[in-house]
Amino acid sequence: MDLRRGIRRSGDGKAAGGREVPEVTDTSAPTTSAMLDVRDLHIHFPTDDGLVKAVDGISFTLDRGKTLGIVGESGSGKSVTSLGIMGLHHGTKANITGTIWLDGEELVAASANRVRELRGSKMAMIFQDPLSSLHPYYTVGAQISEAYLIHNKVSKKAAKDHAIDMLRRVGIPNPQTRVDDYPHQFSGGMRQRAMIAMSLSCNPELLIADEPTTALDVTVQAQILDLMADLQQEFGSAVIVITHDLGVVAELADDILVMYAGRMAEYGSSEDIFDRPAHPYAWGLLGSMPRLDRARIERLIPIPGTPPSLIRVPSGCPFHPRCAYAAQTNGRSVNEVPQLRAVGPGHEVACHLSTEEQRRIWGEQAARMQLSPPARHFSQEDA
């Protein structure tokens, strides 16, 4: 197996399983060895104003030791997806269909008790705002050992020792004394370290980090990103990083899923998304961002308009009202929902533009952004 391509879309391992690419009705156990296999996930919320299609057909797989970055704007369904995997929509009106296989076990149909057993031990989550996700009444140590006590038959003394050990591993100085501190005695960066210690305390095989560094200053963010990468190597967990910051994904992710209006816009390795993006929305994201790694451009190229309401998602391609190229598809963008199709090995895009057009337009855009237009797998197709 190609080592570089850790995360594959279901069906990429066709040789092993003989399954065809997107099998939306397939409910059999996955044939791959992936840690997480999400297939055709839909999460809808009925509201008084209509059905909110927060997540509308998401599929991906993730191997042990690999990192998937999910990017998109607010309201694109990133956080709802992660809460869905963690089973945290239980008790809401959420209507979840599709399958989520965690290490061979299906979670959507599983009982709430079973998901609860897995949550905290096999899968864990780091939330965005460490101040509001830590309980102000309990010591940091008590909060870190809570999950450990629930999932393991150990004494309180052993759990506390474990909490001290976890604090040490996430780089908190004097863990023996800090373990008895309350969250308000920690700085922002230390709180996020404590959150990470808490999520890793049961050695989870899947870790979901929802905007893990958004609330932090840039020098502290750099510390936390380094820590997350180090800990992943040490623990070998599969990690999903959810963020709107393309710099953070580039730093951490092996593969990237770009979401727009609850759907998959583009899915590929981080090189695919940054060096040869094929979806106009991905071009828009890259063009609208001022970058420190390139010469300064006089003018940013924003995406016009605003993200759509998830109750009234535009017909056809949900991005078409903001897309400069929708007119070039003979009305297909307006009338027909684009399906994901491969444009390179492991690189898929939901767009009606032909691969040739995508390649040409990205070449022009890259020139405008003063990027060199690399076309590794595009040029392979030419050959």
Q: Are 318 and 305 in contact (CB under 8 A)?
A: no
CB of 45 to another protein, least distance (A): 20
**C-alpha to C-alpha distance for 262 and 80, rounded to whole angstroms:** 9
Nearer to another protein, 101 or 378 (CB): 378
x/- track of binding to another protein for residues 142-181 (CB under 8 A): ----------------------------------------
Closest CB to another protein among residues 17, 188: 188
Question: Is 25 a binder of another protein (CB under 8 A)?
Answer: no
Query: Shortest Cβ distance from residue 340 to another protein (Å)?
Result: 21
List Cβ neighbours of 72 (8 Å cut-off, separation of 6 or more). 78, 244, 258, 259, 260, 265
Which residues, numbered 228-247, are part of the site for another protein (CB under 8 A)?
A: 229, 244-247
Question: Between β-strands 347-349 and 341-344, what pairing exists: parallel, antiparallel or unpaired?
Answer: antiparallel
Q: Which of 34, 198, 225, 343 binds another protein (CB under 8 A)?
A: 225
Instruction: Show the site string, 304-333: x = touches another protein by CB under 8 A, - = not.
Output: x-xx--------------------------
For another protein, the closer of residues 146 and 271 by Cβ is 271
Q: If binding is defined by CB under 8 A, does position 301 make contact with another protein?
A: yes
Binding another protein (rule: CB under 8 A), the pick from 254, 261, 344, 351 is 254
Instruction: Compute the 3-state secondary structure of the chain and give helix, strand, coil in percent, each to the nearest 5.
Output: 35, 20, 45
In the chain, DSSP finds a helix count (H) and a strand count (E) of: 15, 12
Q: How far apart are CA 166 and CA 204, in angstroms?
A: 13
The verdict on 219 binding another protein (CB under 8 A) reads yes
Q: How far is the CB of 255 from another protein (least distance, A)?
A: 10
Rounded CA-CA distance 197/168 in Å is 9
Instruction: Give the N- to C-terminal CA distance of the chain in Å, as an integer.
Output: 24
Distance, in Å, from the CA atom of 170 to the CA atom of 200, rounded to the nearest integer, reads 10
Helices in 4-123 by DSSP H: which ranges?
14-17, 78-85, 112-118
Shortest CA distance to 301 belongs to which of 369, 372, 374? 369
- Whether 163 and 141 have beta carbons less than 8 Å apart is answered as yes
Count residues near another protein (CB under 8 A). 51
Out of 48, 299, 330, 382, name the contact with another protein by CB under 8 A.
Answer: 299
Q: Is 375 one of the binding residues for another protein (CB under 8 A)?
A: no
Q: Which of 110, 289, 342, 361 binds another protein (CB under 8 A)?
A: 289
Site string for another protein, 46-85 (x = CB under 8 A): ---------------------------xx-----------
> Are the C-beta atoms of 95 and 43 separated by less than 8 Å?
yes
Task: Determine if 226 is a binding residue for another protein (CB under 8 A).
Answer: yes
Q: Alpha-carbon Rg of the chain, whole angstroms?
A: 21
Which structure tokens are listed for 119? 């949550």
Q: Tell me the closest approach of the beta carbon of residue 40 to another protein, in angstroms.
A: 27
Candidate residues 59, 270, 329, 365; the one interacting with another protein per rule CB under 8 A: 270
- List CB contacts of 124: < 8 A, sequence separation 6 or more: 147, 198, 199, 200, 202, 204, 206, 207, 208
Binder of another protein out of 93, 138, 217, 364 (CB under 8 A): 217
Residues that bind another protein (CB under 8 A): 3-4, 73-74, 187-190, 217-223, 225-226, 229, 244-248, 250-251, 253-254, 269-271, 274-275, 284-293, 296, 299-304, 306-307
